[in-house]
Structure formats: C-alpha cells, structure tokens
Amino acid sequence: MTERHPTQDELYDPLAINRFKVEAAMFELIDQLQRQGLDKLEIAMALADAAEDYVMRLASKTPDDLDDDIRPHGYQ
C-alpha cells in the first residue's frame, strides 16, 4: 500500500490523515494475521470487538486519565 499525501490545493485534514494511518496499520495487521492462518472473518470480528472495547475504555476515562497509556489488562 502506498501512502497518499495531500497536495497543495487540498485542505489539511488531520482526521483524514489519522484515519489513513490507522487503516494502513490495520491492513498490515490483517495481512500478518492471515499469513499466520487466521480467517478473514475471524480477524474482522476480533478487530471489531477490540475496537469496541477500546472505545468503551476511552469513554469510561476522565479527561485527566486520557493522558495515561490505555492498554488491555495484562499488557505492558
């Protein structure tokens, strides 16, 4: 996947740029997991579940807590 950069005529859109970066990382992760033998549907469901859990963790944090690194339990 090649990274597309905005041209001078395009407005700077950090949300679109961040979305592109996250999507590129996600596709790289999907590719790695498929090479390990995981099925596309299994990967999609696991990503959806993990994303939902992450959003719920963020929603439960106070603004001061958002500065802390948010990782699943057991990860360091």
Q: What is the mean pLDDT of each run of 10 residues along the chain (76 residues)?
A: 62 85 95 97 96 92 68 55
Q: What is the pTM of this model?
A: 0.63
Residues 6+ apart with CB under 8 A from 34: 40, 43
Dihedral angle over CA of 46, 29, 68, 45, nearest 10: -10
Question: 26: which 2 tokens?
Answer: 């996600």
24 and 1 Cβ atoms separated by less than 8 Å: yes
34 and 43 Cβ atoms separated by less than 8 Å: yes
- What does the pLDDT read at residue 25? 96
Dist. CA 37–CA 49, nearest whole Å: 19
- What does the pLDDT read at residue 47? 96
Query: Can you tell me which residue has the tokens 């859990």?
Result: 53
